[in-house]
Amino acid sequence: MKSMKKILVVDDAKDTVSMVKKLLESDGFTTEQAYDGKQALDLLKNSEQKPDLVILDMFMPEMSGREVAEKMRADESLKNVKVIFFTAAAFKNPGKELLTELDVSDYIIKPFDTIDFLKRVHQVVDE
């Protein structure tokens, strides 16, 4: 039996986290959740089994998704964890350069299509 892929969902909107968690778990993933950047980093640093993917909201109070990704890339134990940004805004060219700079695998715009969302998550975790 193949091991279940683990995904950390980070968003300050609890209803969004709940919906994404249900969607991912119904598709066979295990999930953890965090509601802000600091909580996400604490979970990542203290987790024995790093997640296969972090779905990270870009716009959160106190610490943005970008700051979380920057801290992950600077941390030897977290720098290879895959990230998908989750955002309400479309990325223009400077934003796309940021994705490359932070080694972000993809970005998904909210609201999202559930079939497309799962397809893109699978593409990243199965790379």
Annotate 61-78 with DSSP letters as a single string. Answer: SSS-HHHHHHHHHHSTTT
Q: Is residue 48 one of the residues assigned to a domain? A: yes
Q: 26-47 burial string, b = 16+ CB within 10 Å, else e?
A: eeebebbbbbbbeebbebbeee
Residue 54's H or E segment, with its range, is strand 53-57
* 75 within domain boundaries: yes
**Domain assignment of residue 43, yes or no:** yes
Tell me, yes or no, whether 11 lies in a domain.
yes
Q: Which domain holds residue 52?
A: 6-125
pLDDT score at 10: 98
Domain assignment of residue 38, yes or no: yes
Please report, in tens digits, the pLDDT of each residue of the chain (127 residues total).
Answer: 456 899 999 999 999 999 999 999 999 999 999 999 999 999 999 998 999 999 999 999 999 999 999 999 999 999 999 999 999 877 777 677 888 999 999 999 999 999 999 999 999 999 8
Residue 106, domain member (yes or no): yes
* pLDDT for the residue 39: 97
DSSP characters over 96-116: HHHHHHTT--EEEESS--HHH
Residue-wise pLDDT for 13-48, tens only, equals 999 999 999 999 999 999 999 999 999 999 999 998
**Phi and psi torsions of 47, nearest 5°:** -85, 130
Q: Could you tell me the CATH number of the domain that includes residue 80? A: 3.40.50.2300
pLDDT of 84 reads: 97
**Domain count within the chain:** 1
What's the pLDDT score for residue 92? 73
pLDDT at site 96 = 78
State the pLDDT at residue 97.
Answer: 86
> What's the confidence (pLDDT) of residue 1?
42
- Would residue 1 count as lying in a domain? no
- Tell whether 114 is covered by a domain: yes
- Phi and psi of 64, rounded to 5°? -75, 165
